[in-house]
Structure 1
Amino acid sequence: MSLGADKVRQAKAQTLKGEFESLSMKEGDELDDFYMKLYRPVTNIRALGEKMEDSYVVKKLLRAVPSKFLQIASALEQFENLEEMLVEEVVGSLKAHEERLRGTSEMNQGKLLLTEKE
């Protein structure tokens, strides 16, 4: 690879890393959509031949979640080895937490409707 092409590749990788670092999940964002948005630059960085460890992506994902996920993110950071966790495991844990929140919210709405009818 020529020196010029290598510099272009490095510049693209730096741009993608900046894009990756600036991502954060908003309160109303769907977890699957955010995961895809987060993983797109990771895939492109790796395609350019740059190294990006899963543990780095896991830590970024846990830093980027909104407040409704802070409890599970903290638990994962405290009780799991983030160096060995796969991104898919973290996403699964976050999705399970999201489902619990959704179930609790639906139950509370049902109680609210019952109270209004009474």
Structure 2
Amino acid sequence: MRIGDERVREATAQQLRRDFGNITFKERESVNEFGIRITNLANNLHSLGDNITDVEIVKKLLQVVPDRLNQAAVSLEMFLDLNNVTVEEAIGRLRAFEERTKPKQVTDAMGCLMLCEED
């Protein structure tokens, strides 16, 4: 019975490893949402005994960033030692870049164009 249990665990870990290799940002997905997905996947791999490291997760994260975050990913790769960066730190830095580059809102909640006092 335990042999079958071990085979199921190995098959599940193999599928999760395949999912990790194929993970990408979904259209209009935020860094925070993607960070949750990739860390959940890594936690599931850990629970099955797979020794995935933070370095692998950070490198994968930086490899699959969408074009809007490409500049931030290049900066992180150039200026940080990726062997010493935690997943949380990488996600936090990408989130900061994402927030900084968001387009400014020019309409209110009802879709009306916001004007300044002079207009």
Instruction: Give the alignment's TM-score, normalised by structure 1.
Output: 0.83
Q: Match for residue 36 of structure 1?
A: 36
- The alpha-carbon deviation at position 22 of structure 1 amounts to 1.3
Q: Distance in 1 between matches of 2:83 and 2:22?
A: 22
Q: 2:54 matched to 1:19?
A: no
Q: Distance in 1 between matches of 2:22 and 2:92?
A: 23
- The alpha-carbon deviation at position 2 of structure 1 amounts to 3.6
Q: Distance in 1 between matches of 2:27 and 2:83?
A: 27
- The alpha-carbon deviation at position 3 of structure 1 amounts to 3.4
**Structure 1 residue runs of 4 or more that deviate by more than 6 Å after TM superposition:** none
One-letter amino acid of the structure 1 residue matched with residue 95 of structure 2: K
**Over aligned residues, Cα RMSD in angstroms?**
2.4
One-letter amino acid of the structure 2 residue matched with residue 14 of structure 1: Q
Kindly indicate which of the two structures has a greater share of residues assigned to helix: 1
Q: Which moved more, 1:25-34 or 1:50-59?
A: 25-34
Aligned length: 112
Q: Distance in 1 between matches of 2:13 and 2:26?
A: 25
One-letter amino acid of the structure 1 residue matched with residue 61 of structure 2: L
**Residue segments in structure 1 that go unaligned for 5+ positions in a row:** none
Instruction: Give the alignment's TM-score, normalised by structure 2.
Output: 0.82
Q: Match for residue 58 of structure 1?
A: 58
Q: Distance in 2 between matches of 1:48 and 1:66?
A: 30
